Amino acid sequence: MMQRKNLFSTLCLAFLSFTQLMAKGVTPTYLRTEYKENPFTDVRSPRLSWELTSTEPNQKQAAYQILVASSPEKLVPGKADLWDSGKTNGNATSHIDYTGKPLTSRQICYWKVRSWDKNDQPGVWSKVSRWEMGLLNKSEWKAEWIGLDLDHLGKGPVYHLPPAPYLRKEIQLKPGFKKARLYVTALGVYEFSINGAKVGNEFLTPGWTDYDQRVHYQAYDVTTQLKSGPNALGSQLSYGWYAGYLGYALLVNNHTVRAFYGKVPVLKAQLEVEYPDGRKETFLTGSDWKVNHGALVESDILNGETYDARKEWPGWNKVRFNDSDWPAAQVFPDKASRAMSIYPGPPVKITETLPAKSVTARPDGGHIVDLGQNFAGIVRIRVKGNAGDTIRLRFGEKLHPDGRLMTENLRMARATDTYILKGSPQGETWEPKFTFHGFQYVEIKGLRTQPDLTTVTGLAIGSDTPKTGHFETDSPMINQLYSNIDWTQRANYLDIPTDCPQRDERMGWTADAHIYARSAMFNRDVSSFFTKWMIDLNDSQWPDGAYPLYAPRPDLRQTDTFSPGWMEAGIVCPYETFQMYGDTRIIRESWPYMEKFMKFLEKRSNGAYVFKETAFDDISPKGGFGDWLSFGKKTSPDLLASFLYAYCADMMATMAKAIHNETAHAHYQGISQKVKAATLAHYYRNDGRFDCVASAYGNGSGYVDGQLGFTGHTQTAYANAIYMGLLSEEGTAKAGNYLTALLRENNGKLSTGFLGAKPLLPALSATGNSDMAYQLFLSKEFPSWGFEVMNGSTSIWERWDSFTLEDGFKYNASMNSFSHYSFGAVCEWMFGNAAGIQHLEPGFSKLRIRPEIAPKGLTYLNASYRTLHGLVQSSWTNYPDHLKMEVTIPVNTTAELCVPAGPTARITINGKQPGAIAGLTEKGTKEGYRVFETGSGRYTVLVTP
Ligand code: RAM
């Protein structure tokens, strides 16, 4: 802990001295295009953004000038040949649409920016940044889909796992080429190599989409990987999400269990080489490629890989390999309806290497390797043995009490990797390419020698989302909880937001995604991640307007349609992206889908603007999933559906305003009023209690946990009503009282499921019950976040009782993931309330620091969040005789600084009376806080009662 604290202060110091070197005024840094640094993009008017730094407090941008040019040399005012924004007034530093000359495919755009500060003094120009356009029209793809149909070689009574194909082609380049680009994709997953070396460092490309509608592609600068003369292009393909097993289809005996989009994985690649005189040469995948299968004898995301090293083709992806007896590639037709676009999200990569912590021998001759952390990824093995020795690796999140690997919770995911040695005397190193597992422990069998800590190494895989959050306290339990939250996010933000990374599921479940969205946004920069997944979610909208249970939405089970509590992701996710990143394009792009969904709700309510009991009896399970995995009596799912309807209407009204659609704004305000009125008229009693007609649900059969009975009077109901702002001020206060009363009746313990856990602590804080929020947050007793930590967890569990002392792992055979981020949504409260980092304007151009000090159990909390404008920090230390706050407000923002202090407390800021600080004004007292308004800078606040 101490070490981490030191590291953090060192980093802060380094950051400070760096900024002191910067010029006066404001300097733009961290230039990004479409949320990325120096990307390939196919957005025709990409959005530009930067952060500002300054050595002075209270700095702001008064104006900016952007130059965009076809070469760095032309980045001079008057010479910029693509765009010169001119001096443009305003404080905007993000989402600035490029509005220069129309851009064409393959165009390289260099850009820089300078800003005028609050005194209208121009600062220095930023460093030069760039972006490059991809292929803007599908017709520019001349390459064919190629592959090798090996489906008939799939074997096994349960799993049909054919070998994975190898594809190759040798090309000749003339000397002196200056630029080479590779555009590449697959239906399936691919790895591409040039002269034996992998292109890029991405994993599981091109990711998962509804391949009938679209496939993404990657673009790479491969200039330095090629040479004049002969070059070898090679690619390995696997079945992936396109042709492999998905979700629980096998478990539920679905009519289709694999190959949901197609049976044969195929590759499409286009290598474009340019010579100094402008001549171009293009190399395309086609029937002149050669294909075969070899060492990768089985390969599937859920089921793992089998690699027989004896079947390797040495040098197959290098020049001068003799492929004369390899068959020619088969060419497969395209679907005209399938769009092709550049992968918009953050790339999936190996993000960390985890060394083994221990190796334990098992009575059956195998060994268990503990990697010390539950994560998603693969392992690299280093082994030595004879040709034909077979190493089998199985993966588990937990061990049984007797030390056996626990794999029951993987259900039908075989999750087994097998390596068959070729017997090389120096030993062999191997890792799979096209699978991943969710695990902490690895069982290794078949070794000839004793394994040690170097035999197995963990490689964490996930979408490479930059860390933006930091959270630490003086409680080791809470620090571990935060680490568990972030690791669970990393394990599940893998191309799409999955529910869990280990069992036969790994779907983009919509409730999980929207519940956790804001938490995710505090932890990591997931802006482009949601840009990508919103496309998947919109693509998967049902024709009637409902958003699905999961996106993408392969046909896993006939009854999987939609559910209240899940489908609202289509509104919540763009809304959260707007709130946290100030992104209005995601609103515009999702707008037609969101409107369609709102119409769907209206129609479903039969013009009543409320969903009365049994309104969703036609779906499976009846009423939908409701407050999934809650304890005790169930909250009426229809009450929750009605709440969510009102909440969606409110979000739509806000988003309509943001895109200047006043008509829609008024329309959704009207809908919101109607839904609120109808919902309260039906579910709300005069005394402020929520109620429902429990008898309408009969004996509860067909509903999730229906036998427990239904009510409106639950923690989940009040928490949501408060969180969503459905009630009057008086009603909110009453709801707060009911909520705390319910908690007390339940011995101070939570009973919330997926839909109730996120708003629970924020609702307590919002109604003046921060003490109770802290009590839940710091609890070590079952059920609580702390209980998981106290039981050795390194990740967030699916269920509060995924493991209990009395019952152990009682749910394993059905549904028991130890890497499920939904309950990690407490993270939103940790940043937003405990640290008090809140936005007042979308995108944090105006923000509030309003920490809630723990009445006991924590004396120190230090959190920071890198917004679009830069780092916001909020830390507090509660000394016996005074409180210290350390706050950083980024350049070009203004903040409301709320200091927990009574009217008579003594406050100093940076050693002075608040009145003596330039640019800081006192605004008065509110709910136990003294409120100041201030601009950018670092503030040390001391409060003596
Ligand atoms: C489970 C998933 C997910 C949940 C659904 C209802 O199987 O893991 O978390 O949203 O079911």
Global pTM?
Answer: 0.96
Is the CB–ligand 1 distance for residue 511 below 6 Å? yes
Residue 255 pLDDT > 60, yes or no?
yes
Is the CB–ligand 1 distance for residue 500 below 6 Å? yes
Residue 24: what pLDDT? 74
Residue 908's alpha-carbon distances to 852, 886, 899, in angstroms, are 19, 12, 11
Residue 473 pLDDT > 50, yes or no?
yes
* Tens-place pLDDT, residues 530-567: 999 999 999 999 999 999 999 999 999 999 999 999 99
Torsion of CA 27, 30, 33, 38, to 10 degrees: 120
pLDDT band at residue 20 using 50, 70 and 90 as cut-offs = very low
- CA dihedral over 694, 696, 698, 704, signed as positive or negative: negative
Which residue lies with its CA nearest to atom 2 of ligand 1?
Answer: 499
Residue 659: what pLDDT? 98
Which residue lies with its CA nearest to atom 3 of ligand 1?
Answer: 499
Using a pLDDT cut of 70, give the percent of the chain over it: 98
Nearest atom, ligand 1, residue 510 CA: 10
DSSP output for 383-424: E---TT-EEEEEEESEE-TTS-EE-GGGTT---EEEEE----
Q: Are 547 and 597 in contact (CB under 8 A)?
A: yes
Is the CB–ligand 1 distance for residue 560 below 6 Å? no
Distance 509 CA to ligand 1 centre (A): 6
Is the CB–ligand 1 distance for residue 512 below 6 Å? yes
Residue 756 pLDDT > 70, yes or no?
yes
pLDDT band at residue 157 using 50, 70 and 90 as cut-offs = confident
pLDDT band at residue 223 using 50, 70 and 90 as cut-offs = very high
* Tens-place pLDDT, residues 98-141: 999 999 999 999 999 999 999 999 999 999 999 999 999 999 99
The chain-wide mean pLDDT, for the chain, equals 96
Is the CB–ligand 1 distance for residue 509 below 6 Å? yes
Nearest atom, ligand 1, residue 563 CA: 6
pLDDT band at residue 17 using 50, 70 and 90 as cut-offs = very low
492, 503, 628: residue to mutate for ligand 1 pocket, most atoms within 8 A of CB: 628
Euclidean distance between CA atoms 242 and 300, whole angstroms: 10
Euclidean distance between CA atoms 36 and 131, whole angstroms: 9
Residue 10 pLDDT > 80, yes or no?
no
Euclidean distance between CA atoms 252 and 254, whole angstroms: 6
512, 553, 557, 819: residue to mutate for ligand 1 pocket, most atoms within 8 A of CB: 512
How far does CA 682 lie from the centroid of its chain? 37
Which residue lies with its CA nearest to atom 1 of ligand 1?
Answer: 499
Token code pair at residue 35: 């949320």
Distance 856 CA to ligand 1 centre (A): 35
Q: Are 60 and 118 in contact (CB under 8 A)?
A: yes
Write the CB contacts of 660 (distance below 8 Å, at least 6 apart in sequence): none
Mean pLDDT across 908-927: 96
* Tens-place pLDDT, residues 490-510: 999 999 999 999 999 999 999
Nearest atom, ligand 1, residue 550 CA: 10
Residue 812: what pLDDT? 83
Distance 629 CA to ligand 1 centre (A): 9
Q: Are strands 304-308 and 189-194 parallel, antiparallel or unpaired?
A: unpaired
Euclidean distance between CA atoms 43 and 338, whole angstroms: 18
Distance 141 CA to ligand 1 centre (A): 39
Euclidean distance between CA atoms 297 and 417, whole angstroms: 11
Is the CB–ligand 1 distance for residue 627 below 6 Å? no
Residue 814: what pLDDT? 85
Euclidean distance between CA atoms 527 and 822, whole angstroms: 19
Residue 304 pLDDT > 90, yes or no?
yes
Residue 871 pLDDT > 50, yes or no?
yes
Which residue lies with its CA nearest to atom 11 of ligand 1?
Answer: 509
Nearest atom, ligand 1, residue 822 CA: 9
Residue 23: what pLDDT? 54
Is the CB–ligand 1 distance for residue 628 below 6 Å? yes
Distance 499 CA to ligand 1 centre (A): 6
505, 510, 547, 560: residue to mutate for ligand 1 pocket, most atoms within 8 A of CB: 505
Residues carrying an active site annotation: 505, 798
Is the CB–ligand 1 distance for residue 505 below 6 Å? yes
Nearest atom, ligand 1, residue 625 CA: 6
Using a pLDDT cut of 90, give the percent of the chain over it: 96
How far does CA 549 lie from the centroid of its chain? 17
Which residue lies with its CA nearest to atom 9 of ligand 1?
Answer: 499
Mean pLDDT across 411-432: 98
Nearest atom, ligand 1, residue 511 CA: 10
Residue 611 pLDDT > 70, yes or no?
yes
Which of 672, 683, 689, 671 lies closest to 731 in space, CA to CA? 689
Residue 533's alpha-carbon distances to 507, 536, 570, in angstroms, are 12, 5, 10
509, 619, 798: residue to mutate for ligand 1 pocket, most atoms within 8 A of CB: 509
Euclidean distance between CA atoms 720 and 735, whole angstroms: 10
* Tens-place pLDDT, residues 802-812: 999 889 998 98
Mean pLDDT across 257-273: 98
> Is 745 buried (19+), middle (13-18) or exposed (0-12) by CB count in 10 A?
exposed
Distance 414 CA to ligand 1 centre (A): 20
Nearest atom, ligand 1, residue 566 CA: 10
Distance 812 CA to ligand 1 centre (A): 15
Distance 254 CA to ligand 1 centre (A): 17
Mean pLDDT across 295-307: 98
Q: DSSP E strands: which ranges in 70-213?
A: 83-84, 88-89, 96-97, 108-117, 129-133, 145-147, 165-173, 179-187, 189-194, 197-198
Nearest atom, ligand 1, residue 628 CA: 6
Which residue lies with its CA nearest to atom 6 of ligand 1?
Answer: 625
Mean pLDDT across 432-454: 98
Distance 97 CA to ligand 1 centre (A): 38
Is the CB–ligand 1 distance for residue 391 below 6 Å? no
Which of 254, 241, 332, 303 lies closest to 536 in space, CA to CA? 241
Residue 6: what pLDDT? 55
* Tens-place pLDDT, residues 370-395: 999 999 999 999 999 999 999 999 99
pLDDT band at residue 396 using 50, 70 and 90 as cut-offs = very high
Write the CB contacts of 184 (distance below 8 Å, at least 6 apart in sequence): 190, 192, 199, 205, 206, 217, 218, 219, 220, 235, 267, 268, 269, 270
Residue 19 pLDDT > 60, yes or no?
no
Which residue lies with its CA nearest to atom 8 of ligand 1?
Answer: 499
Mean pLDDT across 147-160: 94
More confidently predicted of 371 and 10: 371
Is the CB–ligand 1 distance for residue 815 below 6 Å? yes
Euclidean distance between CA atoms 236 and 190, whole angstroms: 6
Residue 786: what pLDDT? 98
Distance 335 CA to ligand 1 centre (A): 32
Residue 228 pLDDT > 60, yes or no?
yes
Which of 122, 102, 129, 118 lies closest to 36 in space, CA to CA? 129
Distance 722 CA to ligand 1 centre (A): 25
